[in-house]
Chain A
Amino acid sequence: MSPFYSDDKRRELSAKLLIWLAARASRNQSMLDRLCLWLVDRAMRRDPDEDFMRDPIIDNDQGFDPEELDRYQRGEK
């Protein structure tokens, strides 16, 4: 008998629920989809001070100007 067998059914249901929620949230078409997206978002949001995914490079929100990229591609300074 698996040592975690008693939790197995609950865990399976939880896993299936997560997949169902993620699938609905990823569609974002109907009200139900949007509700699922909202739920997922609320569940995953973290206090910024405790968010291990925060990162200065990412938070910088870096973008480029199309003309700047054109010039760069042409080798111009």
Chain B
Amino acid sequence: MPAPVPFDPDAIASAKLIVRPAKDGVTIKRTICSTCDIACSVVTESKQGRVVKVRSSDNPIFRDNICMKGIIAPKAFAHPDRILHPLKRVGERGSGQWEQVSWEDAMSDIGQRLKKVITEHGPEAWAVSTSQWNTATDHGLGRRIMNHVGTPNWISGVALCAGNTAAINRLTYGWFPMGDFNNTNCIVLMGHNPRRHSWTPIYNYIRSAQERGAKLIVCDPRKSSSAERADIWLPLKAGSDGAMMFGWLKVIFDEGLYDKDFVANWTVGFEELRKRVDEFPLDRVAKLTGCDPDMIAKAARMYATSGPSIIPWTPITDMQRNSTSAIRLQSILRSVCGYVDVAGGETLQGFNPDIVPESTIEMHEVLSEEQKAKQLGSDTHPAFTYRGQAALREPLKRVWGHEYVNQVTGCYMANPSATFRAMAGEGSYPVKAFFALGNNTVMSYANMPLILKGMMNQDLIVAHEHHMTPTAQLADYVLPGDSWLERPWLTDAFGWMSAYRPSEQSMEPPGEAKSTWEFWKHIANALDRPELVPWETLNDFYDDRLKGTGMSFKELSETTEIYFDKPVFRKYLKTGFATPSGKVELKSSILEDLGFDPLPYFREDPPADPDYPLQMFTGVREDGYFQTAQRQVPEMRKRAPEPQIFVSPGTASEYHLGENEWVTIENQIGKISAQVAIKEAMPDGLVRVPHGWWKPEMQQGAGHLSGALKYSDAQLCRDDEDYLDREQGIPHLKGVPCRIIKSPSGNATKTEAKV
């Protein structure tokens, strides 16, 4: 999405175009940073065959979209501890004893052992976890090979971050919309807080929209930096997003602020929805959210009357016990106010007709119905599994031309908790082979003790990684992965947008590091299925996908920074929506057929436990880190050297906590150590727990995991039914009971540190 273009006559009169000239001996490439999930278009400068600088693009469309993580990337990827050669485990699992082997030997052994697992237990006994954010993409090849082999058990962090949102959005209107920041009049942030160095382009879009006069509404328990700039800040209780949106709908319906024509002609279930909404008068919503009813009403009116408005994707609503209902309520708000597929609203972009999407590469159609039915978790929590998305096959084909559309890679996933139970021998069938690509699995999902039990129960674990992460430490093989500086890429935001951006390779991978594309090609060969990856090279693969453009990947990269599809709005007037009814389903026929409440609802918190009087939320990252990564990068670590919980001055006073004091945070399933940071922005009684902490310098191996057993928030993330979303089975991370114990022994000691 291009950055906003505000046509300010004064700006035009005083502006000059400056393109940095190339320097002698410096090679310049236009590339896309994949250090985090936001994919900024940047420029790399290389000398003597290696990247020495990453800077923001010369193209004003991407004006200054770069952050500290991107700038430090040339050094971060040159880290002395980066894994550059394949490693094979030679001691007990987790013993930390490795030997260097060749790719050929590694793949030969991996192929034999994987085939043995498949023969003994069935193809479904092979599971894969990958975060496409870290690998940029695996080009659809992972799913393609899994589908041909016969396993549906693919999991990802996108199960609780954007991928699940994509799948749930489709239940309402058949696509995952992208907000039109450039033309919108009002932006609603549900707990999300894009900053200069985190989700940078989104921060840029929001600030630019505000400069144009767009309104900003922020719903966040914290007085975040976005909340400080907002027109309205609603400090709602953590985890009460769904209740807040019920309140908004109550105001919008009662005051007739919705788009009556659109509702009458293009929605189903309005009357039933209205009855449900009537169960949420503002005094009840105020009680559930902790917000002033007048402010709730004011925000609802602003959203409905300032239009077109957008509610951009938020990782916060993704991670709640009412996630499905809350995401659906966002979809419903967008719809009843008439903001779907309009300029300035929520665009449904579809596929770019000139380019073969990764969904097509994945070939979900070859996986048999019998094997699809075995997808772990689909019996109890089906929403983003094959079973949950099955009713969309015909509508997707009818409207978007593809029967299987895997947006943000999140629409045909197995359930993570069910997968780890199967790995631990507690499922309906065993999972005995596990691959993690660019994914620190043990720290990336709920119930870390279960994940560890599952990992220790595997016959084969393969990690494709940069560093010896806690997950890699438990693997049989650790294979070196390349970085975004070292590979080409072609992205459409994982099927979210119809515009594509190419990214040029800036340098050769160091050592024997290989891309995910090469990894999967090797795996196909190792499984005696070379025909599954028939392309010789990644560039050949891209050339094939780009045939419809009339350009090769090289030509596209050299001539085009964004390959747009022609924008068309209100496409539903011709095609209808990609839902079973062809309309926006305020009452979801899909959820009803799956045995769930077809209308959104709000499940209140379980009864309070006096032993755990505080509430914590986790899943929040620091600017210098992306999820569990970068802790070994000195420049980033210097900025946030220790895991810190945030508490309010009131909470600090009540529990006698001092700044920088080490404490233990506990709940019913685990405990972690962290330092206290007292923040005015935090409300009383709420604790912010940082996500993804381990210390690469600490002792490796089972029982230690480089400090992950001491600091990782995944040990506090529950996956019992009270703390799982019913339809998706994803964990509630926003408002979990906990307590703080004063603890002088929280920090690492010298004896624990790696010598």
Contact = CB atoms under 8 A, between A and B. Distances in A.
A-B complex is real: yes
Contact of B6 (A11, A21, A43): A43
A19 B564 contact: yes
Contact of B342 (A8, A14, A16, A19): A8
Contact of A64 (B5, B49, B53, B66): B53
Contacts of A21: 5
Given A23-B562, A42-B11, A1 B61 contact: no
A14 B183 contact: yes
Given A18-B182, A25-B60, A58-B56, A66 B47 contact: yes
B8 interface: yes
The residue in A18, A26, A43, A58 that gathers the most chain B C-beta atoms within 10 A of its C-beta is A26
Contact of A44 (B6, B49, B259): B6
Contacts of B53: 61-64
A72 B259 contact: no
B150 interface: no
A66 B48 contact: yes
A41 B17 contact: yes
B79 interface: yes
A9 to B, nearest CB: 9
B4 to A, nearest CB: 8
A28 B561 CA distance: 9
A18 B2 contact: yes
A42 B9 CA distance: 9
A57 B261 CA distance: 50
Given A26-B562, A29-B559, A69-B74, A1 B259 contact: yes
Contact of B60 (A44, A54, A63): A44
Contact of A63 (B4, B45, B337): B45
B343 A45 contact: no
B79 A57 contact: no
Contacts of B74: 63-64, 69
A29 to B, nearest CB: 6
A55 to B, nearest CB: 5
B527 interface: no
A16 B261 contact: no
Determine the main DSSP class of A at the interface with B: helix
Contacts of A75: 80
B71 A58 contact: yes
A14 B7 CA distance: 11
Contact of B308 (A4, A44, A57): A4
B307 interface: yes
Given A2-B262, A44-B5, A66-B47, A15 B71 contact: no
A29 B55 CA distance: 22
B71 A57 contact: yes
Nearest to A22: B2
Interface string B61-101: 10110111001101100111010000000000000000000
Contacts of A62: 53, 71-72
B613 interface: no
B204 interface: yes
B47 A40 contact: no
Contacts of B274: none
Contacts of B2: 18-19, 22, 26
A65 interface: yes
B302 to A, nearest CB: 12
Nearest to A61: B55
Given A3-B307, A42-B15, A52-B207, A66 B52 contact: yes
Contacts of B338: 2-5
Given A53-B204, A62-B53, A11 B343 contact: yes
A8 B185 CA distance: 12
Interface in A28-73: 28-29, 37-46, 51-55, 57-58, 61-66, 69-70, 72-73
Given A57-B71, A69-B52, A72-B78, 7 more contacts: A2-B259, A11-B342, A15-B183, A22-B562, A26-B562, A37-B60, A70-B78
29 contacts: A3-B257, A3-B259, A4-B307, A11-B308, A11-B343, A14-B343, A15-B182, A15-B343, A15-B567, A16-B567, A19-B564, A22-B5, A22-B564, A23-B562, A27-B559, A28-B59, A40-B60, A41-B16, A43-B11, A54-B64, A61-B53, A62-B71, A64-B74, A64-B75, A65-B52, A69-B75, A70-B78, A72-B80, A74-B80
Interface of A: 1-5, 8, 11-12, 14-16, 18-19, 21-23, 25-29, 37-46, 51-55, 57-58, 61-66, 69-70, 72-75
Give 10 nearest A-B pairs by CB, closest first. A63-B53, A42-B15, A26-B561, A22-B2, A53-B64, A2-B338, A75-B80, A15-B343, A41-B60, A45-B15
